[in-house]
Structure 1
């Protein structure tokens, strides 16, 4: 159906295939860098409305049957290794509203049956790096996993978080045994409604193969067993939203974490790359991720690369403070490739604290300092202008009232944000101003923006957003911001989700081509002022709170 709309060069070379379902629609998300595609299949009185970009078409069939026609072609024709395959509910795991098992089970079963049939028809097993499956039962999940090339698979998530009661998971053990055979650095997640005694026994059996994993996570809503007395291996307990979480982390040696000196027989080839003239030509074709790996090849190559200071060719850098214990960053390159990195505080059974990031455990380290240091390492040689810098201080996990961890007050959130920006200010001050086209910053405090804005240049768009899901009675002042050259020189100013308290005459907005702001009210003097400012003309949009 919509498969015919895809560009010919992308039809067999997607990097992600995500199928997000609910009772009345399915969203198909595809990525083929630098492009992202989204197709929605909506139930309209028994027919299906298919929407893709500006295209739409009505098909006289059930919505999940229409999706299946496209999914068959996608899976059958995919040639390259997928970064991720996701089949799950379009609800967050902490939201059960709209999840109706009796209505959804036929939808899920049709999608899984189609996926399994398409995988069987392939000449070679499909290689996938990450798989997320939210199915009716463990048999369906095991069927899909058995049809994949497990040699490429690094991450499996199996979810039954919306299904009330206990879903038996012992059927996954054979798959896990084959998957872990002789392999290292794997990650496994389970989302369960009830953590039953039977499922605890399955998890304990999986833990016997712990040398293959660096991380195993189990999310659950209820459990009648004292877990600290049940498991022999140490674990962390976290609480996210309505789910409880136990995490087993294993200190697996990461071959990329340190510089690896080459074997004697490869010394000559490595010495060639230590020549700055040769290395300079090589670096012309590399981006951030390859450069970081190159730095760990040998000390001689690292010295050579450090001397040449190659630009990592970053397009977007995003930092999201999720709670006082976790941060997620996303780095997107000019080529469209991207990497997400999660940093988390941890405390082991001996009371030792530190930061966990990927396969690394940094004992005694401060969370903010680790994130700031990594930002500096990645961005220190970025001389080209990046398209977008995103600083999101929303702390979504800290505002959740139904979490077992106490919800933080706004005062505490504000102090944590200021602490983080004090750390981030150090890499900014140690380099030339960072060239940024668009800054998106989520904060209601003028001081937070002032901590960042002076260290940027070539800024065209400044977008200040209200970051919180919880309502905070706070107005944004911009009297000091308006004095900064970055504010004055921005072509576009967007502050349309936070009310600005500063009078319009003092906002310094006359230099911008487009201004979109939210203000609590407007006086006759301000209206007269705007009429006399010819530079803005039709480029000003003012919004009033409803």
Structure 2
């Protein structure tokens, strides 16, 4: 994702396998460019957009897999965006980009459509334009369609403020490109003279109630005629059942199957299902992620991602109400709320969750349960409790290497954490429910969080990595029980000289310790720190201090960096200060 401003560009890279998002900022700094990555800063010569495009080219040239989403946001006058699009065209001319979905926010339509012709036609499935730069001319879409080669087939979404008569005439011509635009949705705020527009569009479009206008084109490509299949005789069916309902033979078959094949096989008949339930085949799930989306205090959408060890995956979406526009893409399933009385989409999701993981015996790489909300102060306690109950109904605790849990309190986390196998869990990640919004406009606030009870669980005590970067942990450092971790990345409310001394003397004794990165909002660190741990090896302007301490009986040192500089984010708000403890080899120190 990239966000362009008049004076800077924000570049975000999300790695779905590692569940991480890295942000790099390129900002004008006189005749130079200031590049910011986390707490690191680098000044390079030249215009900020040139520095960004050079890095972008490196990233895209080395990209091997298909991107899920490529997003471009334009803020300000659009000058930086225009230069980025020009540079993108040059980059993509040399290397076609494979991406499933492209989203443009407040960008120029002609610029966006020009970029599409350089994308891999076999992979592109979804194209989105949100509030394009004014004035919006729908003829620019038509010009873009004409420049595309054969083979492009994608769903197109357009959100605009208003639609007039000229726009409707241009939109009418979209039907000529039904082989390219398989589905079309146009969202608008203002639409006058509906009766007149209905007459113009004739039977090509359907104007629906409310503020949403949605139209789906019929696919004009003919579907190849299917070869006539031979009728299965009773003898063939009896033979098939004798194989599939035989536990010995079925066991041999299931050894080669994973979750999705097992689910299909269960649909054959009752006898096959019974046989599978007796054998309890491992579905070989690598990662199971569920994201609960809330509107006000009500969950209105759930997204589940299932990745198998073979590399196959499925995305399942559960919706609060039927959305006629949503059409499943490849590897994607949709469930609407057309369920029998007494059931809702949350229960269906949790039932699927339980049945899918019921016989999982091999260790999963990731289990992720996260929440997002349009508004703050939403309670997830009941939902977390139900998820915990599902996991606790298993015959054995679920084996997971990394657990990522979104919550607003440690008790919500406890419901899920306590059901995980204590010997398998290596990484614990605690993340708050995030609030949806435009990148660069996030509402950064303090989110107090306690870990005093979590830190007493067997799962916590056996884990090797702790990540809690967005909560303000208010539990005192000495009460967190974190000395056994190898890697820690946390944000605390406050830190003192005594806390630093406590970590320094204890990490010198730890055989597991690798790196502790602790951000803090407030500090009582003063000159007493020098009396406790000694004078720093190096001091930089009284805001950055460096220490080295030899780890007894080893060729390693603890490298401590205390950074109390006032660093602001792109919105001008102060970032938390930072102290980092790192195990380093002697040859990487000044004492080698």
Match runs of 1:297-446 below 5 Å: 297-323=268-294, 324-346=299-321, 357-358=334-335, 361-364=338-341, 365-395=343-373, 398-399=374-375, 409-410=376-377, 413-414=378-379, 417-431=380-394, 432-446=396-410
Q: In the TM superposition, what is the alpha-carbon distance from 1:423 to its structure 2 partner?
A: 1.9
C-alpha separation between the residues in 2 aligned to 1:442 and 1:532? Answer: 33
Asked if residue 462 in structure 1 is aligned to residue 428 in structure 2, the reply is yes
Q: Evaluate the alpha carbon distance shift between residue 360 and residue 281 of structure 1 in structure 2; reply closer, same or farther with a 3 A threshold.
A: farther
| Maintained 8 Å contact 1:520/1:544 | yes
Structure 1 gap ranges (5+)? 1-18, 76-83, 120-125, 151-155, 181-185, 209-224, 229-236, 238-243, 250-260, 349-355, 400-408
Partner of 2:89: 65
Give the match's secondary structure for 2:311: coil
Cα distance in 1 for residues equivalent to 2:485 and 2:16: 35
SS of the aligned residue for 2:240 comes to: helix
Most deviating of 311-320 and 196-205: 196-205
Q: Secondary structure at the match of 2:412?
A: helix
Question: Partner residue of 2:79?
Answer: none
In 2 relative to 1, CA 21–525 (structure 1 residues): closer, same or farther, beyond 3 Å? Answer: closer
Residue aligning to 1:258 = none
Against the structure 1 CA distance between its residues 537 and 265, is the aligned structure 2 distance closer, same or farther, given a 3 Å change threshold? closer
CA distance in 2, matches of 1:85, 1:537: 41
Structure 2 residue 101 is matched with structure 1 residue 86:
yes
Contact 1:133-1:141 within 8 A present in 2 as well: no
The number of residue pairs the alignment matches comes to 420
8 Å CA contact 2:162–2:190 kept in 1: the answer is yes
Q: What is the deviation of 1:319?
A: 1.1
- Deviation for aligned residue 1:165: 4.2
How far apart are residue 539 of structure 1 and its match? 3.1
Q: Deviations over 1:69-113 (max 9, x none)?
A: 2455x68xxxxxxxx743441x3xxxx3xx3x2xx52x3343345
5 Å matches for 1:270-289?
Answer: 270-289=241-260
Distance 2:174 2:149 in 1: 10
Residues of 2 paired with 1:194 and 1:435: CA distance? Answer: 53
Distance (whole Å) between structure 2 residues aligned to residue 30 and residue 443 of structure 1 = 21
CA distance in 2 between partners of 1:452 and 1:514 (Å)? 22
Cα deviation, 1:486-519, whole Å, max 9, x if unaligned, reads 0111101112221111111211112212222221
- Asked if the contact 1:389/1:438 (under 8 Å) is kept, the reply is yes
Relative contact order, CA 8 A, sep 6+: which one is greater?
1
User: Residue 284 of structure 1: CA displacement?
Assistant: 2.2
Which has a greater percent of helix?
1
Are residue 507 (structure 1) and residue 480 (structure 2) matched? yes
Question: How many Å apart are 1:472 and its aligned residue?
Answer: 5.4
Task: Give the drift of 1:477.
Answer: 0.8
Cα deviation, residue 338, structure 1? 1.9
Is 1:157 the counterpart of 2:170 in the alignment? Answer: no
SS at 1:139 equivalent? helix
Q: Residues of 2 paired with 1:466 and 1:298: CA distance?
A: 44
Q: Distance in 1 between matches of 2:202 and 2:261?
A: 38
Question: What SS class does the counterpart of residue 511 from structure 1 fall into?
Answer: coil
Give the CA RMSD over aligned residues: 4.6
Cα pair distance change 1:288/1:454, threshold 3 Å: same
TM-score, normalised by the number of residues in structure 2: 0.59
Q: Distance in 1 between matches of 2:402 and 2:52?
A: 44
Q: Secondary structure at the match of 2:399?
A: strand
Is the Cα–Cα contact under 8 Å of residues 43 and 63 in structure 1 kept in the other structure?
no
TM-score (normalizing by structure 1): 0.64
The corresponding residue for 1:44 is 50
Larger Rg: 2
SS in 2 for 1:455: coil
